[in-house]
Amino acid sequence: MKNDRKLYKKKKQKKYVGAGLTLLRRSIHRYPNNPRTAKLESFPNPCPKRDYWIHFDCPEFTALCPITGQPDFALITIDYVPDKLCLESKALKFHLYSYRNIGAFHEEVVNCIVDDIVMACHPRRLKVIGKFNPRGGIGITVSAEYP
């Protein structure tokens, strides 16, 4: 019975956790057109004393080839151990969407995503993998880690 009350109190407190988030609960959004202007938001880690992994699969990532302007498609996977903050997934979705019209090499894209996540939530550990679809018969996979 005591455990039930503890869970109920935790659930009730979560209502206020997202108070500072600006992208949730909006039905109309203006998609950012550049990763530098895209806002990555975070919220307090509910279990900051424990190391645990959070995994994101982003199978619809698109950027442009900086030479040809043709689209490059990729599966981006993000794994991180949060410290005091966790990434908000809708903000991450908008951030990744902002690469759609940007010309960048695959290596630059993956490393920029790492830098942006580190700036947003300062994780204990982070690994980003970009598995880019083959073009011209060659697929490219780029991975970058923090620290």
Say which CATH class 2-146 falls into. alpha beta
Domain spans of the chain, in order of start? 2-146
* 83 vs 36, higher pLDDT: 83
112 is catalytic: no
State both tokens at 6. Answer: 């503890």
72 is catalytic: yes
**DSSP letters along 53-108, please?**
-EEEEEEEEEEE-TTT--EEEEEEEEEEE-SSEEE-HHHHHHHHHTTTT-B--HHH
Of the candidates 51, 57, 65, 86, the residue annotated as catalytic is 65
Note the pLDDT tens digit of each residue in 116-146.
Answer: 999 999 999 999 999 999 988 999 999 999 9
Averaged confidence pLDDT in the chain? 87
Of the candidates 51, 57, 58, 72, the residue annotated as catalytic is 72
At 27, the pLDDT band (50, 70, 90 cuts) reads low
What's the pTM value of the predicted model, to 2 decimals? 0.82
Per-residue confidence (pLDDT) for residue 19, from 0 to 100: 57
Per-residue confidence (pLDDT) for residue 70, from 0 to 100: 94
